[in-house]
Amino acid sequence: MEDTTRILLEIFLAFTGARLLGRLFQSVKQPAVIGELLAGAILGPALLDLVHHTEFLEALSELGVMLLLFTAGLDTHLEQLAKSRVTAAKVAVLGAVLPFIGGIAGGLAFRYATGESLFVATALMATSVGITVRVLRDLGYHRRRSVTIILGAAVLDDVLGLIALGVVTAVALGEANTLELALLAVEAVVFVGGIGLAGPALVSRFGERLAGLSSTAIFEIGIILMLALSLLANYIGLAAIVGAFLAGLVIAELKQHTEVEARFMPLAWFFVPFFFVFMGTYIDLTSFAKPAVLLAIVAFTAIAVVTKYIGSIWGARREGRRIAREVGVGMVPRGEVGIVVAGIALAAGVVSEDVYAAVLGMVLATTVISPYLIKAVFGRRRTDGEAGGEAS
């Protein structure tokens, strides 16, 4: 009974805090996610110690970001992704390689051990597209072509990050197994490629039969498919949000997808704030009190933003300056992916607590500044000679 009361209290505090501070920031024309992150920092272990890193809250936050990416998939059609596949691939590769190189260089500059530098570099590779999608939805920019490129690149980015994490972990622990790493890479590629291509194709083939189903039935199928593909993605080693996005992509091929999206929005409205509150609970300024750690946070944040932005712009340069800039800022947030990488390294004993704090600080810094960068770049008016516009 006591555990149930505590869980309900934390749910109440997290949701209420997120809504109140989110509304407060919106009232002064600032991104709501900043208020939700701040709610987590205030209620979390560092200050009031009312909301904790419990498995239950983590599950709520994971469900929230899954719903967010599922609805993003509903807004995206395979035809749009197909048109952007080359650009998305370039953005993913360049947006991963440059931060990885920058992370190694930064780690060596701070005289970190080789294993520590590799994990820092891997944490810098990742992109937390959930933050970008949320901000763009709030601003009403989620149907732009640049967002389609960001979503496609983020999925590929996650595959590259998974492979890099496997390689780095094996090398750092001296347990490299080429066959296992190759199988991991194949599983990831087959999962993303198979679901992303075969799923919508099957829906189109059986479209007439599915067209006779009610929107309620499709809604239920959508939830089951989202949970199933998220579970499968997680089992393979990918982020669950990749499976959720692919599920949305499949349902988007149905004519009822607009009605289904309307049914999913109340679920997302309730669950999504838990993701940002949970992220906010990791903010602990006392961990960053050491000058060396603080300097590392500033350096790694600068490397993270600049390398990801340059890599993404370079990859999207043929789309025009405006879209390239939008893609660049949209790929900047590191979010929960970077935290997971740092946590794995700390648990394995590969990095020190100071290095862990530096990586965590970088993740939080990119998470906090990204909404402002996104708002500034996406809100700019198009000038002559710039390409851009809504996704077709």
Average pLDDT estimate for 73-93: 81
Which of 5-9, 208-212, 358-362, 369-373 is least confident?
Answer: 208-212
Nearest C-alpha neighbor of 271 from the set 209, 223, 309: 223
Is 30 a member of any domain? Answer: yes
Q: How confident is the model at residue 100 (pLDDT cuts 50, 70, 90)?
A: very high
Most confident segment among 125-129, 275-279, 308-312: 308-312
Structure tokens at 334: 């590191």
Which of 198-212, 264-278, 283-297 is least confident?
Answer: 198-212
Average pLDDT estimate for 281-310: 87
Is 236's pLDDT higher than 70?
yes
Average pLDDT estimate for 55-60: 91
Average pLDDT estimate for 381-388: 47
Q: Specify the number of domains making up the chain.
A: 1
Please spell the DSSP secondary structure of 298-332, one letter per residue: HHHHHHHHHHHHHHHHHHTGGG-HHHHHHHHHHT-
The whole-number pLDDT of residue 29 equals 75
34/342 Cα distance (integer angstroms): 23
Is 388 a member of any domain? Answer: no
Name the residue with tokens 């993740």.
363
Name the residue with tokens 């920019």.
141
324/384 Cα distance (integer angstroms): 15
Percent of residues, the chain, with pLDDT higher than 70: 90
Percent of residues, the chain, with pLDDT higher than 90: 32
Phi, psi of 113, deg, nearest 5: -65, 160
Q: How confident is the model at residue 269 (pLDDT cuts 50, 70, 90)?
A: very high
Average pLDDT estimate for 348-373: 85
The answer to whether the CB of 357 falls within 8 A of the CB of 46 is no
Is 387 a member of any domain? Answer: no
b/e per residue, 211-225, with b = 16+ CB within 10 A? eeeebeebbebbbeb
The answer to whether the CB of 109 falls within 8 A of the CB of 170 is no
Is 391 a member of any domain? Answer: no
Number of H helices, E strands in the chain: 16, 0
Say which residue, 158 or 6, is predicted with more confidence: 6
Is 351's pLDDT higher than 90?
no
318/83 Cα distance (integer angstroms): 13
For residue 153, the tally of other CB atoms under 10 A from its CB is 31
Q: How confident is the model at residue 207 (pLDDT cuts 50, 70, 90)?
A: low
The whole-number pLDDT of residue 349 equals 80
The answer to whether the CB of 316 falls within 8 A of the CB of 328 is yes
310/268 Cα distance (integer angstroms): 32
The whole-number pLDDT of residue 382 equals 52
Question: Measured in whole angstroms, how far is the alpha carbon of residue 243 from the centre of its chain?
Answer: 12
289/251 Cα distance (integer angstroms): 48
34/246 Cα distance (integer angstroms): 27
The whole-number pLDDT of residue 326 equals 93
Is 384 a member of any domain? Answer: no
- Residue-averaged pLDDT of the chain: 84
Average pLDDT estimate for 197-226: 81
Is 19 a member of any domain? Answer: yes
CATH assignment at residue 90: 1.20.1530.20
* Domain limits for position 153: 2-378
Average pLDDT estimate for 220-242: 88
Is 161 a member of any domain? Answer: yes
49: left (phi over 0), alpha (psi -120 to 50) or beta: left
237/341 Cα distance (integer angstroms): 12
67/265 Cα distance (integer angstroms): 9
Listed in sequence order, the DSSP H helices in 28-144 are 32-43, 55-74, 78-109, 114-125, 129-139
Is 389 a member of any domain? Answer: no
